[in-house]
Amino acid sequence: MGVGIVAMVTSFAMLISAGPYGGWPQYFPWSLPMLVLSKQAAEVPTAVWVCGIGGILVGVAGCADFCRREVS
C-alpha cells in the first residue's frame, strides 16, 4: 500500500512539473488518468502500450517466481 501511495504522489508531482509539453509522466502508469483529463491526451496510446507491456512483463516474472517457489 505504501508503494502505491508513493507512486501516486510521485505521478502528481511529475505532472505538475512537466508543464504543457509532456515528458516522462506520459510513461508513468499512475499518470494515465490525469493525462486523459489533461491537454496532453495525444500521447495516451503510447503510454498505454508501454504500461501494458510493462505490466505483462511484471506479471510473467511474478508467475515464474511463484511457480519456482510454490509449485513442486
Mean pLDDT of the chain: 75
Mean pLDDT over 42-71 rounds to: 84
Instruction: Domain count for the chain, please give it.
Output: 1
Q: What's this model's pTM, rounded to 2 decimal places?
A: 0.48
Q: Determine the Cα–Cα distance for residues 25 and 36; give it in Å rounded to an integer.
A: 12
Quick: pLDDT tens for 12-44: 776 666 665 566 666 666 666 666 666 656 666
Domain ranges, residue 8: 2-70
- Return the C-alpha cell found at 17: 512539473
